[in-house]
Structure 1
Amino acid sequence: MKLTGRTILITGGTAGIGLAFALKFAELGNQVIVTGRRQRLIEDVKRRYPKLHAIQSDVADPDQIRALATRMAAEFPRLDVLMNNAGISLYKNLKGTATDLAGLTKELEVNAGGVIRVTSAFMDLLKANKGTLINVSSALAFVPLPCIPIYCATKAAIHSYTQSLRFQLEETGVEVIELMPPAVKTDMTADLRDGDGITMITTDELVKQSFKSLRKGTLEIRPGQSSQLALMRRIAPDFINAQLWKASRKLVPAAV
């Protein structure tokens, strides 16, 4: 992937992994736009990082996605990198009947539906500019962490979806990259700890390893423990599944 002279949109770019990548891309001289659903964080990014463009937009809302795509085409017609990073993670107990059936699939709407809708909304612009699409899935696409079962399912879906996209776009000039982070120390993972099969890394280390792979042209990037989890899924699936269940059992909420 060419890492300079690009116009880059990162969804969920106001904190955590998204913000870390936004700052690195900006450091390399790229024009970077980040989005987020919370206006308070948008204002905070504008104040702290004036080199970044920050726009409020919710990937779970189709109307906001359409409005964002229209605005990007008008204000940033040379946009040639889309990084689908926005996502949420919720602890779930699946042993009972959910009282909030709409809430039960919230992660599907954001993590999977958001990626699919945003990608489609920007497809014509990416093709016109022969751009790069980066979908952020997870090492948990390979093996689930049972305390966040729906989150893991969405990441497995994005892994499969990204592979299909790569095939369908092979003659368009659009480069399709998948970033599969391991457990990263962010607000989203505040309850996780190293040990029992989980190895945490910082956002700085994630960015360092990921950019090394991007420079090499790697299309499926597995930083940190991600490669190990992919291997363990093949050679010892029962063992690694049991380890991750042991690590996460205490985080499953009590049944309602």
Structure 2
Amino acid sequence: MKLTGRTILITGGSAGIGLAFALKFLELGNEVIVTGRRQSALDDLKRNHPKLQTIQSDVADPAQIAALARRMKAEYPKLDVLMNNAGIMLHKNLKAPAADLDGLMTEMNVNVGGVIRTTSAFIDILAANEGTVINVSSALAFVPLPSAPVYCATKAAVHSYTQSLRFQLEGTGVEVIELMPPVVKTELSTDLANGDGFTLLTTDELVKQSFASLKKGALEVRPGQAKLLALMRRIAPDFINRQLWKASKRLLPVRAG
């Protein structure tokens, strides 16, 4: 992947992995635009990093995605990188019926629907500019963390979708990359800790390893424990599945849902 001279849109870029990548891309001299759901968080981000461009937008809302695409195409016609990063993770107890059946689909709407809809809304400008799509899935696409069953299912879906997208875009000039982080020290992983069967990666180390892979032209970027989990999924799936179940049991909510 060409890492300089790009115009880059990162969804969910006001914190965590998205912000870490935004700041690194900015450091390399790219024009970077980030989105987030909360305007207050974006305002704080803009004050701290005035060179970043910010736009309020929610990837769970198709109307907001369409509006974002119209604005980006008008204001940033050179847009050539889309990083689908926005995501949420919820721990769920599946032992009884959930009180909020609609709420069960929240992660699907954000993590899967957001990726598919946003990619579709921007595919024309990315093709015109021979750009790059970076979809953020997870090492948990290979091996699920049972306390977060829907989250892991969404990341497996993003992994599969990204592979199909890559095939369909062959010959268009659009590069399709998948970033598959392990457990990273962000707001998403506050319930997880080193020694629970996880080795948490800092965002700094994630960026360092990921950009090294991107420079080499990797299409599947597997930093930290992601490589190990992919390997264990092949050679000892029962063992690694059981280990993650043991590590995550304490994270189950008391109530179903």
TM-score by shorter chain over 0.5? yes
How far 1:52 moved relative to its partner?
0.2
The separation in 1 between residues aligned to 2:44 and 2:158, in whole angstroms, is 30
Which residue of structure 2 aligns with residue 64 of structure 1?
64
- Runs of 4+ aligned structure 1 residues displaced above 2 Å come to none
How far 1:40 moved relative to its partner?
1.1
Q: Does 1:150 align with 2:147?
A: no
Note the residue ranges of structure 1 that are not aligned, 5 or more in a row: none
Amino acid at match of 1:57: S
- Residue pairs, 1:214-233, within 5 angstroms: 214-233=214-233
Which residue of structure 2 aligns with residue 138 of structure 1?
138
Amino acid at match of 1:46: K
How far 1:255 moved relative to its partner?
2.5
How far 1:99 moved relative to its partner?
1.1
SS of the counterpart of 1:122?
A: helix
Q: Does 1:251 align with 2:251?
A: yes
SS of the counterpart of 1:26?
A: helix
The separation in 1 between residues aligned to 2:178 and 2:197, in whole angstroms, is 23
Note the residue ranges of structure 2 that are not aligned, 5 or more in a row: none
Amino acid at match of 1:114: G
The separation in 1 between residues aligned to 2:214 and 2:243, in whole angstroms, is 31
SS of the counterpart of 1:130?
A: coil
SS of the counterpart of 2:151?
A: helix
Contact 1:107 1:151 in 2 (8 A): yes
The separation in 2 between residues aligned to 1:35 and 1:252, in whole angstroms, is 31
Can you list the C-alpha shifts for 1:74-111, whole angstroms capped at 9, x where unaligned? 00000000000000001100111111011011000000
Amino acid at match of 1:162: T
The separation in 2 between residues aligned to 1:40 and 1:189, in whole angstroms, is 22
Contact 1:197 1:240 in 2 (8 A): no
TM-score normalized by structure 2?
A: 0.99
Which residue of structure 2 aligns with residue 178 of structure 1?
178
Can you list the C-alpha shifts for 1:120-167, whole angstroms capped at 9, x where unaligned? 000000000000000000000000001111000000000000000000
How far 1:171 moved relative to its partner?
1.0
Contact 1:196 1:243 in 2 (8 A): no
- Residue pairs, 1:59-208, within 5 angstroms: 59-208=59-208
Which residue of structure 1 aligns with residue 12 of structure 2?
12
How far 1:194 moved relative to its partner?
1.1
The separation in 2 between residues aligned to 1:226 and 1:176, in whole angstroms, is 19
**Which piece of structure 1 moves more, 94-103 or 150-159?**
94-103
Amino acid at match of 2:64: Q
The separation in 1 between residues aligned to 2:227 and 2:197, in whole angstroms, is 13
The separation in 2 between residues aligned to 1:117 and 1:249, in whole angstroms, is 33
Contact 1:180 1:222 in 2 (8 A): yes
**Which piece of structure 1 moves more, 187-196 or 121-130?**
187-196
- Residue pairs, 1:45-64, within 5 angstroms: 45-64=45-64
How far 1:197 moved relative to its partner?
2.6
The total of aligned residue pairs comes to 256
SS of the counterpart of 1:224?
A: coil
SS of the counterpart of 2:90?
A: coil
TM-score normalized by structure 1?
A: 0.99
Contact 1:3 1:25 in 2 (8 A): yes
The separation in 1 between residues aligned to 2:40 and 2:199, in whole angstroms, is 32
- Aligned-residue CA RMSD in angstroms? 0.6
Amino acid at match of 1:186: T
The separation in 2 between residues aligned to 1:214 and 1:239, in whole angstroms, is 31
